[in-house]
Structure 1
Amino acid sequence: MQANAVTIQVPLQRREERRSSDRYVASMPVQVNGEDSTTHDLSAGGLSFVADRSYDVGARIDVVVEYILDGHHYPLRCQAQVVRVQASGTAFTIGARLLPETRLPDVPEGGPDHPPRPLRRVA
């Protein structure tokens, strides 16, 4: 390196610091491209789920999370993009980020007769 060369330090972000929203452990029924699965965790920007097969990183997937409140189904229909695939024995844990086309269902807020269930934050 030359003695008069300029060095620019670029701080690298750890994986945990890249997340813009908190993740919550949530085991909920989900359909991915029409196949039944179960969520592992959820956040405002994405989800992870357990699948019997792998998906290509970068693939767009159709996701329907079945949110059930007081016996009523509120399907959350999403477009997502696979960002991570991790083999776990014979299954796969798939991480996906939600795409802007996602539409949230109208879900009534909790009240004295229907308090919301607390979610546990993933550290």
Structure 2
Amino acid sequence: MPADGVTIPVPLRSRSERREAERFGAAMPVSVDGAPATTQDLSASGLSFLSDRAYEAGARVQVVIEYLLDGHQYPLRCEAEVVRSEPAEGGFRIGARLLPRPELVPLTVGDAAPPGPGVPRPHLPRAD
């Protein structure tokens, strides 16, 4: 135990846990195929969100999470596959796994948003 008496709980997965990545509870606004929703939890491999509508298992959806960093909104765009859809209070709870991107999208210096304070600016080679 630390000298100051502070303990940090570390969640452990049981053998029955099928998820590959640790989940973090997060209620954030999200857009799913253009419709508003709210995340319940996120991980490196998936997310769950509350929606006004149900989605079929296997459906592919476009997810955009707007997160705030240093006073700027940054969109995190990804594609996900619905793995479950169940009724929840006020709508549906949707579980989805994030899909890998098949290719990188080229970024030119003019397209890059300015980084916030304290965030180092990447050094990109000039495109001639």
Query: What TM-score do you get using the length of structure 1 for normalisation?
Result: 0.69
Q: Which moved more, 1:53-62 or 1:64-73?
A: 64-73
Match of 1:21 in 2: 21
CA distance in 2, matches of 1:29, 1:66: 7
Query: What TM-score do you get using the length of structure 2 for normalisation?
Result: 0.67
CA distance in 1, matches of 2:22, 2:89: 27
Q: CA deviation at 1:74?
A: 1.3
- The one-letter amino acid paired with 1:35 is A
Say if 2:98 is the partner of 1:85: no
CA distance in 1, matches of 2:71, 2:36: 20
3-state SS of paired residue (1:54): coil
- The one-letter amino acid paired with 1:29 is P
Structure 2 gap ranges (5+): 1-14, 105-112, 119-128
CA distance in 2, matches of 1:32, 1:66: 12
Match of 2:98 in 1: 98
CA distance in 2, matches of 1:37, 1:79: 15
Aligned length: 97
Structure 1 gap ranges (5+): 1-12, 112-123
CA distance in 2, matches of 1:40, 1:89: 13
- The one-letter amino acid paired with 1:79 is E
Q: Which has the higher contact order (CA 8 A, sep 6+)?
A: 1
Q: Give the root-mean-square deviation of aligned CA atoms.
A: 2.8
CA distance in 1, matches of 2:98, 2:23: 13
Pick the structure with more strand per residue. Answer: 1
Match of 2:30 in 1: 30
